[in-house]
Amino acid sequence: MENKGAFFTGKYRNLLQEYGYSGEEINRKIRETWEQLFFGDDQIRFYHPVGADMGFITDTGNNDVRTEGMSYGMMMAVQMDNQEIFDRLWKWTKTYMWHESGVYKGYFAWSCNLDGTRRAQGPAPDGEEYFAMALLFAANRWGDREAPFNYSAQAKAILHEVVHKGENGRPGQPMWDPETKLIKFIPECNFTDPSYHVPHFYELFARWGNPEDSAFWAAAAKASREFLHKTCHPVTGLAPENAHYDGSPVHSHGHGDFYSDSYRVALNIGLDYEWFRADKGQKELANKIQTFFIDKEKFTKYTIDGKELEEPEYLHDVGLIATNAAAALASEGPVAKASVDRFWRTPLRRDQRRYYDNCLYFFTLLALSGNYRIYGA
């Protein structure tokens, strides 16, 4: 294993191949998963083209279109080198979700109906950070074109707003807390969502974003890595869905426990370690998460110290299996391999709740095969 991450070496681990799966079956699984999610039958796909030049990703469990899903779809498309789908998703996003004026100018409405009308006006910051990263990758991989496909300019406009909104008497709130440099759950609140923390993106924003904000993004990457060690439980490694800036859980409406949003923390840790290897403590953290789940046959909701909580409907087993496997990019040993093998044996989800699980599944498949890559300038 290289001492430096893939950003510095240009080398990405194919952990699936290291664990004995053949290149042919890995590539086939990637190709078939992509085809099912974007072009499969109505029981599996979540992508829908609209007219000649737009398309959207449906949150099948809630029958809406979310900035989470649209930005995820764009990231998937740029990783798979499919510019047509990327552009369709981005044009739909700009047409229906983007705020041209008002308190949210430059942000995106986080939830729309399938016809583009809005269910909510406010933004969810994880969408903005994924939009910006996917757009920068698109600019570097394919080159800029005319608006709205001047990808790098679009990304930099988003990155300016999320840091500077509200300055100089302008309306609105930034998406990052200026003092702690931590991403907020929503702009108007004073707490965070641990699964929103993607320091590997912030490292790239520091290098490719607006030059005047380079120091801010470098500090945000450092702050997020430190925060994740505070918010993940010292024994189980589990993170709450929402947390105060000191890492302690926000005990409101059950969001202080380990549940759906929390699963993404393991994926983010694994990918950050693969790309940058800036925090050696992530190895221990990833190992704790995998060790906690390794002997569990069925999942429930948990307090972050590992107590089981009864839920009438446990929603996202496949997603949890996937993200636990992605942590193997940072961990090592028997629990890492067992987590990856369990993921490999797990099929895509095919029911109404499939959207979130299958997004995490595909990101994990890309990451573990060395195909979730940095497309640099």
Q: What is the 3-state secondary structure (H, E, C) of the chain?
A: CCCCCHHHHCCCCCHHHHCCCCHHHHHHHHHHHHHHHHHCCCCCCCEEEECCCEEEECECCCCEEEHHHHHHHHHHHHHCCCHHHHHHHHHHHHHHCECCCCCCCCCECCEECCCCCECCCCCCHHHHHHHHHHHHHHHHHHCCCCCCCCHHHHHHHHHHHHHHCCHHHCCCCCCECCCCCCECCCCCCCCECHHHCCHHHHHHHHHHCCHHHHHHHHHHHHHHHHHHHHHCCCCCCCCCCCECCCCCECCCCCCCCECHHHHHHHHHHHHHHHHCCCCCHHHHHHHHHHHHHCCCCCCCEECCCCCEECCCCCCCHHHHHHHHHHHHHCCCCHHHHHHHHHHHHCCCCCCCCHHHHHHHHHHHHHHHCCCCCCCCC
Are the C-beta atoms of 253 and 208 separated by less than 8 Å?
no
Which residues neighbour 298 within 8 Å (Cβ) at sequence distance 6 or greater? 314, 317
Q: What is the model's pLDDT at position 1?
A: 43
User: Do 186 and 292 fall within a single domain?
Assistant: yes
Whether residues 204 and 309 fall in one domain: yes
115 and 215 together in one domain: no
Same domain for 325 and 200, yes or no, is: yes
Q: Write out the two tokens for 85.
A: 């789908």
Query: Based on the domain organization, do 145 and 198 belong to the same domain?
Result: no
The answer to pTM > 0.85 is yes
CB atoms within 10 A of CB 67: 24
> Is the same domain home to 121 and 197?
no
From 140, 175, 210, the end of a domain falls on: 175
What's the total number of domains in the chain? 2
pLDDT reported for residue 169: 87
**Confidence (pLDDT) at 313:** 66
Active site (annotated) includes residue 332: no
Residues 6+ apart with CB under 8 A from 294: 335, 338, 339
pLDDT mean across residues, the chain: 96
CA–CA separation, 186 vs 189, rounded Å? 6
Of 124, 152, 175, which marks where a domain is finished?
Answer: 175
- Judge if 136 and 190 occupy the same domain: no
Given a cut of 70, the residues of the chain with pLDDT beneath it are 1-2, 312-314, 377
Q: Is 68 a catalytic residue?
A: yes
Looking up residue 214, the CATH number of its domain turns out to be 1.50.10.10
Same domain, 187 and 200: yes
Examine the fold and report which residue of 154, 175, 196 is the final residue of a domain before the chain moves on: 175
What residue numbers bound the domain in which 331 lies?
1-45+176-377
- Asked if residue 340 lies in contact with residue 325, where contact means CB atoms within 8 angstroms, the answer is yes
Q: Given 261, 272, 279, 357, which residue is catalytic?
A: 261
Whether 284 and 203 share a structural domain:
yes
Out of 68, 126, 177, 357, pick the active-site residue. 68
